[in-house]
Amino acid sequence: MAPLLLLFFIFFASSSPLTHSRTRPLKTTMLDVASSLQKTTRNGPTSYSLKTQPSESTLSLQLLSRASIQKHQSYTNNYKLFTLSLLERDSARVKVIETRLDLALKRCRNGTCLYEVSYGDGSFTVGEFATETITLGSVSVPNVAIGCGHNNEGLFVGAAGLLGLGGGALSFPAQLNATSFSYCLVDRDSDHVSTLEFHSALSHYAVTAPLRRNKAMNTFYYVGLTGIGVGGEVLPIPEASFEVDSTGAGGVIVDSGTAVTRLKEEVYDVLRDAFLSGTKGLQRANGVALFDTCYDLSSKSSVEVPTVSFHFPGGRELPLPAKNYLIPVDSVGTFCFAFAPTTSSLSIIGNVQQQGTRVGFDVANWVVGFSVDSC
């Protein structure tokens, strides 16, 4: 018998304070190579801890990384196999995102409706559309629309369910009548838990950016990205490269389910070349899977690398920690630049670049905020 899948029709679209353009940005930052490598050889924690306590006014959930659990079960002694497995799954996830989601309600009879959702990578789920009372800790939410999957393939296999947070009318935040929510994802090798909070206000220190609406893909959260910086300089990339066009194509979404940030090929090439120019003193290594820019840092305990930052309207800048864009792919010192090109017109800010940052969505005012070191 095929396993049942409880499916919520809610999809994740998924080191320094606010910096303005008049502030002189840093050109380089340090990467702690030894600390990053040490995490790749741990067998993993036997328990997880919460770094900060949520406020009493929020509904908060603790999230354990399925990837980290799988690592400790299957890839304890081979971090590279673990990485390759994650990247393979991530590529499948991106194919799903690049295909427009259509929820098809089939036959409704005697108060029961069947649904079907199919994706570009071949994943699908078929089952009953229903309402149910959902209990989260001590809080119960009645009449939540869910899908109970009876026939599931692809990305739906191996999970008890999917809790989605997209912008559609059937999203979990919408059904909670939540005007805001936020999540903070710890790195994949951390012994702390990630958190998801509803009714959580944006921090006063958050780097904020406007969310953009796209009627063609209204479940995703499009962000008003205006540029990318390397080494303290904004790269010569036209702003139009990050915008949604008149047909609904293009744009940049913030997605917690995608690991590696994807950029259009012409944008990625400029970013990669600028980073390479600033790392000429580092020993290169062969590419790994979708990563084409890798380094052999096995003889280093720390290295100085160019800063990388996202730029938003109003001169707002989000500098990324070095460990969020130069990551280990094995336990012997191979590190790769954690961005990748895509042939799609859609760009995605993935969770590697979001780790250690509380990402808050103020859906009442249509703003997203990034608060670094707020997990």
Question: pLDDT digit string (tens) for 195-207?
Answer: 999 988 899 999 9
The span from the CA of 174 to the CA of 166, in Å, is 9
Confidence band for 357, pLDDT divided at 50, 70 and 90: very high
Question: pLDDT digit string (tens) for 214-240?
Answer: 988 888 999 999 999 999 999 999 999
How would CATH label the architecture of 5-14+20-42+57-372? Answer: Beta Barrel (2.40)
> Which comes out higher in pLDDT, residue 118 or 357?
357
Tokens of 236: 């010569």
pLDDT at 29 over 80: yes
The span from the CA of 367 to the CA of 258, in Å, is 21
pLDDT at 153: 78
pLDDT at 56 over 60: no
DSSP string, 61-100: EEE--HHHHHHHHH-TT-HHHHHHHHHHHHHHHHHHHTS-
Q: 266: helix, coil or strand?
A: helix
The span from the CA of 35 to the CA of 298, in Å, is 12
pLDDT at 3: 45
Question: pLDDT digit string (tens) for 143-201?
Answer: 888 888 888 877 666 667 778 788 888 889 998 889 999 999 987 767 778 899 998 88
pLDDT at 25: 74
Within a 13 Å sphere around the CA of 323, how many CA atoms are in the beta-carbon half?
19
Least confidently predicted of 36-50, 53-67, 214-228, 244-258? 53-67
> Which comes out higher in pLDDT, residue 300 or 6?
300
> Which comes out higher in pLDDT, residue 288 or 71?
288
Residue type, 181: F
Q: Which residue shows structure tokens 């999809």?
A: 11
pLDDT at 6: 43
Least confidently predicted of 14-23, 108-117, 273-282? 14-23
Cross-strand bridge partners of residue 161: 6
pLDDT at 264 over 60: yes
Phi, psi of 167 (to 5 degrees): -95, 5
Question: Taking the CB of residue 215, how many other CB atoms lie within 10 A of it?
Answer: 7
Residue type, 254: V
Mean pLDDT (whole number) for 39-59: 56
Asked whether the CA dihedral 108, 110, 111, 115 is positive or negative, the reply is negative
Residue type, 19: T
Torsion of Cα atoms, 84 then 86 then 92 then 97, to 10°: -140
Confidence band for 42, pLDDT divided at 50, 70 and 90: low
> Which of 230, 220, 172 lies closest to 347 in space, CA to CA?
220
Average pLDDT, the chain: 82
36's CB contacts (< 8 A; 6+ apart) are 323, 327, 328, 335
Note whether 44 and 68 are within 8 A (CB). yes
pLDDT at 193: 84
How, if at all, do strands 334-337 and 294-296 pair? antiparallel
Confidence band for 65, pLDDT divided at 50, 70 and 90: low
DSSP string, 214-238: -GGGTTS-EE---EEEETTEE----
pLDDT at 48 over 50: no
Least confidently predicted of 61-75, 292-306, 320-334? 61-75
Report how far apart the first and last C-alpha atoms of the chain are (Å, whole number).
40
pLDDT at 158: 64
